[in-house]
């Protein structure tokens, strides 16, 4: 009898540990496959490797729980339809620049230096197809402005 109770207790402890909030956060903090994306500004072409969020579950999770992101990486949210969208920073530790992008790849709006962990809603202010999240300060550093173009297969254009 002691043998099965001991095994059950160990299995229960491992299960509870795996389901602990920190463990879930650690699992969510890994990055996935990337695709090439370029932003074309007056100053030139800037290349990034982006994770593309295409499902409701992926879009809901986004960059939550991540503590770092490489300077040349980002996350592209594909909403699959053009509509006004709103984003927030709940459970997101990284300050971000959010680029709201029209279906033709032009940048409609930039929300720079968003506040980590905030539930404040950040609206697109017009219908967009996607949102690109980059590390905070990237838009200013690369002089990215509304009207600049994003090249990715989502917008029917080439990349790199």
Q: How far apart are the first and last CA of the chain?
A: 64
Predicted pLDDT of residue 159:
56
DSSP conformation class of 152: S
Task: Name the residue ranges covered by the structural domains of the chain.
Answer: 1-30, 32-155
CATH number of 32-155: 2.60.120.1140
- pLDDT > 90? residue 114: yes
- pLDDT > 60? residue 12: no
Cβ-proximal residues to 149 (8 Å cutoff; 6+ apart), any chain: 39, 40, 105, 106, 107, 157
- pLDDT > 60? residue 23: no
Q: pLDDT band at 31, cuts 50/70/90? A: confident
Q: Does the predicted model carry a pTM greater than 0.85?
A: no
Give 62-77 pLDDT, tens digit per residue: 999 999 999 999 999 9
Mean pLDDT over each residue of the chain, to the nearest integer:
85
Distance from C-alpha of 36 to C-alpha of 30, rounded to nearest angstrom: 19
Q: Would residue 128 be called left, alpha or beta, if left means φ above 0 and alpha means ψ between -120 and 50 degrees? A: beta
């Amino acid at each position: 009898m002691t043998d099965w109770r001991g095994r059950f207790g160990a299995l229960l402890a491992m299960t509870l540990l795996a389901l602990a909030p920190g463990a879930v956060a650690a699992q969510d903090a890994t990055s996935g496959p990337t695709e090439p994306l370029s932003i074309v500004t007056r100053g030139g072409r800037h290349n990034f490797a982006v994770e593309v969020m295409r499902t409701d579950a992926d879009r809901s999770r986004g960059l939550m729980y991540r503590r770092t992101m490489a300077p040349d990486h980002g996350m592209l949210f594909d909403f699959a339809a053009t509509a006004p969208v709103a984003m927030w920073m709940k459970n997101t530790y990284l300050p971000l620049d959010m680029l709201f992008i029209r279906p033709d790849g032009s940048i409609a709006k930039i929300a720079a230096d968003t506040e980590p962990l905030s539930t404040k809603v950040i609206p697109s202010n017009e219908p967009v197809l996607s949102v690109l999240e980059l590390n905070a300060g990237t838009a200013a550093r690369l002089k990215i402005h509304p009207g600049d173009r994003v090249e990715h297969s989502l917008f029917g254009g080439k990349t790199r």
